[in-house]
Amino acid sequence: MLPLLRAIWQADAAFPSGAFAFSYGIEGALALRPDMSLGEFERLCAAVLQQRWAGYDRIALQRAFRAGRDLDALAAVDREIEASTMIEALRAGSRRNGASFLAAHARLGQPLALKLRAQVKAGDCLGHIAVMQGAIWAALQLDEQHAALCSAYTVASGLITAAVRLGAVGALQGQSVLQALLPLIDALVATPLDDDAELESFIPILDIAAARHVHAELRLFAN
């Protein structure tokens, strides 16, 4: 049960990963659609999981997980994410989130986190969050499937936490959305990935919202 307990530990919102500063584009989307209903918000969260996480974050996470302590392989996945993320706010947010995640594990004395943090500071690695999660969670001996569940869950809970903090949904409404997303997360993680699967993501509304969000006069989140 230890790998499962470690996955629960990493998915816990109390873990100081720095993700609280990011809305995954939701703040910008709510600015575009302030009248978004709860049902529409749930469908948007489902779209993020299906059209971003499953074909992009999950693939990067799996590659990094399987690369283990191969720093060159991890850097290659990092560079691919950097090149394929067109929106600067999302690109920078992914790096900043990864840096916070690494910092937490480095302070806990995790050896690979210390090495990766040094690589990022030296410019040899960019530190995108999905890559850092895959590498560190493999080092922590999480099961690969648990790592994928943990990743998807933290994305879903991050979207909902952001919406609650913005006052767009109530705390219990947010939990109802999260509960509704759990079977989708389970199904996505259960879907096999080809070893040669390429990174792909298509959520235009969030890309547009994130690009506009940078120029907002007042914002709560970094992206």
Q: Give percent of the chain with pLDDT exceeding 70.
A: 93
Q: Tell me, yes or no, whether 60 lies in a domain.
A: yes
Q: What is the mean pLDDT of the chain?
A: 90
CA distance 54 to 152: 8
CATH number at residue 163: 1.10.4190.10
Specify the pLDDT at position 182: 97
In a domain, 69, yes or no: yes
Instruction: Report if residue 6 sits inside a domain.
Output: no
- The answer to whether 43 touches 49, Cβ cutoff 8 Å, is no
Question: pLDDT value at position 221?
Answer: 64
Domain assignment present for 14: no
Q: What is the full DSSP assignment across 184-210?
A: HHHHHHHS---TTPPP----HHHHHHH
The boundaries of the domain holding residue 180 are 19-213
Q: What sign does the dihedral 58-77-198-28 (CA atoms) show?
A: positive
Confirm whether 159 is domain-assigned.
Answer: yes
- The answer to whether the beta carbons of residues 184 and 49 sit under 8 Å apart is yes
Tell me, what's the pLDDT at 149? 95
Whether 191 is covered by a domain: the verdict is yes
Residue 119: pLDDT above 80? yes
One-letter amino acid at 72 equals D
Question: In the prediction, which pLDDT does 220 show?
Answer: 58
Tens digit of each residue's pLDDT (9 = 90 or more) over 150-180: 999 999 999 999 999 989 999 999 999 999 9
In a domain, 219, yes or no: no
Q: Which of 24-38, 48-62, 104-118, 171-185 has the lowest mean pLDDT?
A: 24-38
For 45-56, how does the pLDDT look when each residue is reduced to its tens digit (9 = 90+)? 999 999 999 999
Residue 223 lies in a domain: no
Q: What is the mean pLDDT of residues 106-116?
A: 96
**What pLDDT score does 8 carry?**
92
Q: Is the pLDDT of residue 223 over 60?
A: no
Could you give the number of structural domains in the chain? 1
Q: What pLDDT, on the 0 to 100 scale, is given for residue 3? A: 87
Write down the pTM of the prediction. Answer: 0.91
